[in-house]
């Protein structure tokens, strides 16, 4: 648990994230793509909070705005796309996540993923209690 993720696993995960980002840049993404990048944003912050990687509040806010606008547009029009500004705002998160995947010990990654699962479960319960529909 003190060693980083095996290089092949880190590369495969990073590649999947880069492809997802590019799909959204080209307007070929979907709701799953947006969810995946939202998870990446949360993981970047969680892992940085655990002491690995540096991310600024400005970077976080810009990425939140980009993914939020992408989701809003996708729900409204069916076109899941990051515009140029959105892509430029989110790309640093993917770069930071790449570095974190290659350097963070498995114990840190496991803790961050567990916190992400807890956050998702808590959000789902809160949406349901407000009468929202559960996500598929």
CB 48 within 8 A of CB 108: no
How far is the C-alpha of 28 from the C-alpha of 26, rounded, in Å? 6
CB 34 within 8 A of CB 80: yes
- Write out pLDDT tens, residues 12-69: 999 999 999 999 999 999 999 999 999 999 999 999 999 999 999 999 999 999 999 9
Task: Give 136's pLDDT tier (boundaries 50, 70, 90).
Answer: very low
Task: Give 134's pLDDT tier (boundaries 50, 70, 90).
Answer: low
**CA-to-CA dists, residue 118 to 8, 19, 30, 91, 115, angstroms:** 27, 26, 24, 26, 5
More reliable by pLDDT, 122 or 33: 33
CB 55 within 8 A of CB 96: yes
Token pair of 86 as six digits: 């959105």
Nearest to 98 by CA among 56, 60, 43: 43
Token pair of 121 as six digits: 């479960």
Q: Where do the structural domains in the chain lie, given as residue ranges? A: 7-129
More reliable by pLDDT, 126 or 96: 96
Q: Which residues contact 114 (CB under 8 A, 6 or more apart)?
A: none
- Write out pLDDT tens, residues 69-108: 999 999 999 999 999 999 999 999 999 999 999 999 999 9
């Amino acid at each position: 648990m003190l060693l980083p993720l095996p290089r092949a696993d880190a590369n495969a995960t990073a590649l999947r994230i880069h492809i997802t980002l590019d799909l959204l840049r080209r307007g070929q993404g979907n709701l799953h793509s947006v969810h995946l990048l939202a998870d990446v944003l949360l993981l970047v912050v969680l892992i940085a909070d655990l002491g690995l990687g540096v991310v600024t509040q400005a970077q976080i806010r810009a990425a939140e705005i980009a993914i939020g606008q992408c989701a809003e547009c996708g729900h409204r029009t069916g076109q899941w796309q990051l515009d140029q500004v959105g892509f430029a705002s989110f790309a640093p998160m993917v770069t930071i996540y790449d570095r974190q995947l290659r350097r963070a010990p498995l114990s840190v990654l496991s803790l961050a993923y567990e916190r992400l699962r807890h956050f998702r479960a808590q959000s789902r319960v809160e949406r349901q209690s407000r009468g929202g529909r559960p996500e598929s």
